[in-house]
Amino acid sequence: MLKAYKYRLYPNKNHEEMISQHIGASRFIYNWALENKIKSYEAEGNSISRFALNKMIPELKIEHVWLKNINSQSLQGATLNLDNAFTKFFREKKGFPKFKSRKNPVQSFSVPQHYKVDFENNKIKLPKIGWINAKLHRRYEGKEKTATVSRTSTGKYYISILIDDEKENPVNKSFNIDTTVGVDVGIKDFAITSIGEKIDNPKYLKNSMKRMKVLQKRLSKKKKGSANRQRAKVAVAKLYEKIANQRNDFQHKLSSKLISENQAVALETLNVSGMLKNHCLTQSIADASWSSFVKKLEYKAEWYGKTILRIGRFEPSTKICNVCGYHNGKLTLTDRKWQCPDCKTNHDRDINAAINIKKFALDKQNLIGI
């Protein structure tokens, strides 16, 4: 099983300079490789392979001498990342690889091997860079794979180490109607479960918007290229980073709770990209970050042998009475509570949807009534 461990790095000035050179070189090779792939496809109808590109890198070093100071495997890692980007593009039919910019908020480069981790002294050695102080707060066991060194827009440095613990993924545990929970995500409440529990939406972005506007207004008044503008830019980035950290912490805790307490979690497939086109709700939907939450549920379920069940995006989970099955076609988004005309059951819109998500998911598994 593959797991990633992320640690904070504390480089000195020389380390920072070398890391910047590696980041710039990896970005240069990525863009160079992308340009060559596009040109070869336009000229011959076939895209040049990663291995052919790697063979061209030594010649590139003659033209650009500064590339000789960079770990050669990190340069080859850039072509591997591009190859993975094209694989994702052809698999999902969207997101054609783009040229990387130095203005991207997070910059990184990969270290495929030959790095060393010293847990006793809290240091990590990187090829061509040397030993760097780190906060190694968690130990790991297993085979070390590729490490990725990143720099955030606030000037913080991290290393993410991919570990293969050489263990098989646990077999999914059996589940039934009693050990399955349905979860409906929303804006007013972040998540509503089929047992009637409502988890408040913390709305970290909305709650920080007043401060954000002040910082962005200060930034807009600073002269471009000045040191004051750079400081104001970092202040905005720090607030965005704080919001992201708060959101991740909240989602990690909630996803861990749902996975640990249930054998299966039933979810609705949402068209988030389509929902973001509603300009009245764009900010609220982005603040909730449902896609990130679902990803956390998925990989944690895989870790612990739990099951994620899904229903189609067009299933009328909200408009169907979970007691008698009556379809209330007149229900609108403003109706938070409604009464079933047939069985007279009073429904909370979101709890009813969560119960139906669970029922629909189990029905597809032929587990209703078990």
Residue bearing tokens 């059996």: 174
Measure CA of the first residue to CA of the last residue in the chain; give whole Å.
Answer: 32
Catalytic residue among 268, 298, 302, 342: 268
- Maximum Cα interatomic distance, the chain, rounded to a whole number of Å: 80
> Which one of the listed residues 83, 249, 350, 363 is annotated catalytic?
350
Q: Considering only CA atoms, which of 167, 162, 170, 250 is closest in space to residue 205? A: 250
Is-contact 7 134, C-beta < 8 A?
A: yes
Judge whether 287 counts as a catalytic residue.
no
Give me the catalytic one of 92, 144, 184, 287.
184
Which amino acid type is present at position 341?
P
For residue 112, CA distances in Å to 9, 57, 77, 165, 337 come to 18, 17, 7, 17, 55
Question: Residue 265 forms beta bridges with which residues?
Answer: 181, 308
How many Cβ atoms sit within 10 Å of the Cβ of residue 112?
Answer: 16
Separation CA 300–CA 295 (nearest Å): 9
Q: How many CB atoms lie within 10 A of CB 21?
A: 17
Is 17 known to be catalytic? no
Q: Which of 142, 147, 138 is nearest to 167 (CA)?
A: 142
Q: Which residue numbers are catalytic?
A: 184, 268, 350
